[in-house]
């Protein structure tokens, strides 16, 4: 198989900042309690009229601009979103049209939290035949929270935003080495949203399974490539909550500083979070070495992907 490369990332975050104090008043909690259980201090919420596609287009354009790649040269578009409108077509068709794409295949991954990881893994395999593949994760989780009364333990977590990554068979900044993906449908009712009504989350099951499955998948992909956790330059994970990120670092035996975190400022943006984190990290670092991406989400779906700095 011809190797695939990551060329760059992009992101979009709404302007409106929703601090803990605003949610605390609505939910009958305190700002201090919200931060203590989640590590989150604030999150971004999109305007009521903004859509998943709006944010996805903004992140896609940011990524393409930074990578210096015109949209009309793309060979494929993958859009991951668990909060996109139910029904069809999914947001990928609109994002493609607004980027000016005509017959370029556009694929929807209706997956919460783990969607962008699965998208990167697919792009790594498809770049050989499709050329440049743009992966977008876009979520409007505030609409889910506002749609129906929520458990305070759930409502405090979520924010809105979008991230993007460009994958190509052309040599780029990071070579993609390997990926492992897993699913276990027996947990499908423990984290679910049907499009109407409240989001359902069995918090204890979700945190226990995520705290086991994320390190396990990371260890699996590292073992297949004979790379130790200590050799990894950075772990770019789905930003579920700060406590989970800390637990993953401890389980892997690495310093918490190696696990990039921006959940304090943006909250849990579901399938957008990992790519938003990658975009922010890539703009502020010159560190070289192995990079691990990992995510866990509704389904349950989870996995990890390993990349390394290209020569």
**pLDDT of 203 higher than 70:** yes
Percent of the chain with pLDDT over 70: 99
pLDDT of res. 197: 78
What pLDDT shows up at residue 85? 74
Single pTM value for the model: 0.96
**pLDDT of res. 198:** 84
Higher local confidence (pLDDT), 153 or 85: 153
- Check residue 196 and give its pLDDT: 78
What pLDDT is attached to residue 277?
98
- Residue range 303-307: mean pLDDT, rounded: 98
**pLDDT of amino acid 285:** 79
pLDDT at 204 over 90: no
Out of 86-95, 225-234, 253-262, which region has the weakest mean confidence (pLDDT)?
A: 86-95
pLDDT at position 157: 93
What pLDDT sits at residue 147? 78
Instruction: Summarize pLDDT for 185-198 with one digit per residue, the tens.
Output: 999 998 898 887 78
pLDDT at residue 254 greater than cutoff 70: yes
How many percent of the chain have pLDDT more than 90?
A: 84
pLDDT reported for residue 184: 96
All domains in the chain, ordered by first residue: 4-168 (3.40.47.10), 174-309 (3.40.47.10)
| Whole-angstrom distance, CA of residue 212 vs CA of residue 215 | 6
What does the pLDDT read at residue 149?
67
Average pLDDT over residues 11-38: 93
Q: What is the mean pLDDT of residues 5-9?
A: 97
- Identify the band that residue 311 occupies on the pLDDT scale cut at 50, 70 and 90: low
Give mean pLDDT, residues 22-41: 91
**Mean of the pLDDT values across residues 273-285?**
95
Q: pLDDT at position 214, please?
A: 98
């Amino acid at each position: 198989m011809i190797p695939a490369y990551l060329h760059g990332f992009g992101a979009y975050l709404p302007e409106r900042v929703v601090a803990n104090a605003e949610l605390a008043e609505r939910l009958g909690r305190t700002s201090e309690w919200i931060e203590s259980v989640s590590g989150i201090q604030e999150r971004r919420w999109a305007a009521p009229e903004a859509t998943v596609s709006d944010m996805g287009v903004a992140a896609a354009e940011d990524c393409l601009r930074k990578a210096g790649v015109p949209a009309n040269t793309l060979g494929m578009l993958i859009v991951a979103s668990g909060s996109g409108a139910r029904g069809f077509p999914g947001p990928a068709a609109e994002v493609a049209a607004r980027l000016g794409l005509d017959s370029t295949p556009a694929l929807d991954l209706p997956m919460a939290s783990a969607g962008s990881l699965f998208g990167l893994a697919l792009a790594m395999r498809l770049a050989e035949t499709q050329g440049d593949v743009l992966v977008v994760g876009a979520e409007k989780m505030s609409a889910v929270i506002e749609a129906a009364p929520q458990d305070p333990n759930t409502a405090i977590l979520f924010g809105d935003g979008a991230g993007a990554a460009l994958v190509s068979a052309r040599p780029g900044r990071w070579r993609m080495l390997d990926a492992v993906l897993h699913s276990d449908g027996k947990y499908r009712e423990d984290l679910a949203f049907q499009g109407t009504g409240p989001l359902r989350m069995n918090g204890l099951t979700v945190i226990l399974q995520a705290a086991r499955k994320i390190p396990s998948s990371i260890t699996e992909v590292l073992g297949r490539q004979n790379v130790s956790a200590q050799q990894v330059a950075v772990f770019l994970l789905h930003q579920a909550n700060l406590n989970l990120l800390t637990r993953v670092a401890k389980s892997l035996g690495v310093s918490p500083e190696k696990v990039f975190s921006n959940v304090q400022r943006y909250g849990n943006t579901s399938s957008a979070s990992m790519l938003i984190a990658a975009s922010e990290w890539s703009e502020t670092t010159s560190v070289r070495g192995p990079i691990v991406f990992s995510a866990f989400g509704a389904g349950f779906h989870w996995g990890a992907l390993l990349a390394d700095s290209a020569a």
